[in-house]
Amino acid sequence: MSTTPATAVPFFPPALFEADRAELIALVREVGLDPEQRFILGARTAAFEELLRADLGAADVVACSSGTSALSLVLRAMDVGPGDEVIVPAFGCAPLASSVVAVGAVPVFADIRPDSMTMDPDDAERLVTERTRAVMPAHMFSVMADMPRFTELARRHGLRLLEDSAVAQGGVLRGVPAGLWGEAGVYSFVQVKTGGMPGEGGAVITRDPALGERVRMLRNHGQRPGRRFVHHTLGVNSRFDEIQAAFQTHRYAGFPARLARRAEIAAYYTERFTPLAGRGVTPPPPDRDGRCHYVYTVLADAREALAVHLAAHGVASHVYYPSPLPAHPAFTSYAPSGARWPVAEEAARRHLSLPVHHLLTDVQVRQVADLVCAFATALG
């Protein structure tokens, strides 16, 4: 255990890539001076895609400009468009709905489960109509969605299954990596994700080679690899940066250790917080299967007071989604009049995310846990 004295605990560590600074600077020079002068979608991107594909056992991995772009690319590759409905969670990040709207389809919001804050399969099935084309469950915070149930739901109703695994790189449920339960999944590489980098980027992961090939064409203005200026369909610019690809490849060997540290911290938090459920602070479910540890999120009856208490002692926390998606002005037109999503509404009021990044010391982890426990005990 570390003997470092208690200090301020940042939610997003500012020195996340400090240990790799020399390598990153060297890669900028290497790519910048490469005689090919290929700064996007070159050999380094291909190598990174192959590294991920082989490690996951996927048919294809297609690196693109962001996790958001990855969702839209898959929906387009699945021919989801005007007249179609896509069932999405009512609680989560905006791209769950905006990616659907971007292809001309209609997002249909399902409520979430109170324990995992992931989409409720029963509520999702209730919303299936003859217009439903796809279902898009999303992994949330540190918990993967109930993908066995969603796989069966999609099979039973003949729906496309797109897995929003943007936060879940490294998660495994029943032996299946996050991103490979559906026809396709996505990862986000923004810096705070488990596989984050100093920039923007994402990837599509799939078991379907044909789907991967179509995504690969769509991400580069509808051109097939190796054949520039022949546009087979209307694509977009969602290309991946060669410097980032090389940097991601460099850091990948350390990914398991970083995940393991996050899991260790999360397990400690859950052990400390489980007795607090009757005192107004509820941790995620304790099962370690299907965990991804992007962030560690509790449900707190007095969330604002808990956040103030933590901040007063130097601990940063974060509220991700203060409103359910259907309550946002951008999506109210897709919400049926009078409809409610009570579990999502409660999660929006109560969730609070705590630091769980791999650079936390043991002392800092204990500090966070002690403060949460003291707060709940005082409320008693």
Active site residues: 193
| Gap between the terminal Cα atoms of the chain | 30
Give the number of C-alpha atoms closer than 13 A to the C-alpha of residue 228, restricted to the C-beta side.
1
C-alpha–C-alpha distance, residues 144 and 293, integer Å = 10
C-alpha–C-alpha distance, residues 260 and 315, integer Å = 22
CB atoms within 10 A of CB 190: 18
> Which ranges in the chain belong to alpha helices (H)?
21-32, 43-56, 67-77, 95-102, 121-126, 147-157, 209-218, 242-251, 255-273, 303-312, 342-350, 362-379
- Can you say how many angstroms the Cα of residue 141 is from the centroid of all Cα atoms in its chain? 8
**DSSP helix/strand/coil, 89:** strand
C-alpha–C-alpha distance, residues 228 and 166, integer Å = 30
- Residue 379: C-alpha distances to residues 9, 23, 191, 203, 302 (Å): 23, 49, 36, 44, 9
Two tokens at 365?
């982890």
Strand partners, 86: 107, 134
C-alpha–C-alpha distance, residues 4 and 251, integer Å = 26
